[in-house]
Amino acid sequence: MKRYSEAEPLLRGALESRRRVLGVTHPATIRSMNTLAGLLLRTNRKAEAAELLKATYETATRVLGDGNLTTSNTALNLATTHKELGHFDEAERFAIAAAEGRKRSFGETHYRNLVAMKVRAQILLAAGRYSDCADLLSKLHEAMKQTGTESTPLYSVVISGLAFSLVADRRGAEAEPFASELIAFCNDRLPGNAIAIGRAKRLLATCFISQRRFDEATTLLNESLAHLTSALPEYSWYIQYSRAALGAALAGQGKPEEGKGLIVKSRQAIIAAQDQIKIDHRRLVLNQLDEYVAEFAKTD
């Protein structure tokens, strides 16, 4: 259970004590500022978090240097905060700063630098820069292969984001092997996670839809829905997204009325619940739904 309301006064008290005893430029004080800002972000106080993180970053850069881990952590938190606020240029600037600092301190292929690259890729995806996102994630994918880090959770995020960005960039055939790899990863590493497997199968199905392989997409989407409905309530946007994709596949199979009904109904449900979708994927999901409507559910 997340008890943020109880944690906040404790964090503020610790921060004030460290400021008073150690001073505002002490590394422990800077870490406390970073921790409090993280709580503000998790409780949706993004503007307040951005203000505190800006002060923290300026202090950390001046006192600790831009290659320090605390400084780069603050830069990544700032990048994430600006992404959530929709300030994508600022977000990317701080993500690049974090990656450059970590590269100097730990090396280009160190896991901490790979995480910073992932954060930048998520910003590009949220901004709708799908080709740039795919290019960066391709480099990250290769780096993880070279460093033998394919068994980490980060790897599944990378191949998922790579497949998503390629599909959004209308490169479904290129996305297919990564989506297939994601299913294999989930089956191997997350065998009991119905949500992860259901989402991975939907992702591969969208690759098939983009290639007009509707029969294969329909089979996968029915499997996706079986996984998702076993673990989530009916109103979940994950389920509605798979239903909309199923509608596109059915319409492509020559069942226009059935397909159109699913697309329109699911699209309405997702638009109503769009705030539940992480900003990383919100634009992509809504754009894809608009494409399904335009191609498969046109009104006469």
Q: What CA–CA distance (Å, rounded) separates 243 from 253?
A: 15
Residue 98 resides in a domain? no
Q: Which of 181, 142, 164 is nearest to 284 (CA)?
A: 164
Residue 102 resides in a domain? no
CB 297 within 8 A of CB 263: yes
Are residues 74 and 167 both part of a single domain? no
Token pair of 253 as six digits? 């199979």
For Cα atoms 279, 50, 96, give the angle at the middle one, nearest 5 degrees: 70
Are residues 147 and 228 both part of a single domain? no
Range of the domain at 43: 11-86
Are residues 204 and 299 both part of a single domain? yes
Q: What is the pLDDT of residues 179-218, one digit of tens each?
A: 999 999 999 999 889 999 999 999 999 999 999 999 999 9
**Domain count along the chain:** 3
Are residues 270 and 225 both part of a single domain? yes
Burial of 228 (0-12, 13-18, 19+ CB in 10 A): buried
Are residues 253 and 287 both part of a single domain? yes
Q: What is the pLDDT of residues 138-192, one digit of tens each?
A: 999 999 999 999 989 999 999 999 999 999 999 999 999 999 999 999 999 998 8
pLDDT of residue 299: 58
Are residues 177 and 222 both part of a single domain? no
Residue 74 resides in a domain? yes
* Dihedral sign from CA coordinates of 105, 107, 109, 110: negative
Residue 6 resides in a domain? no
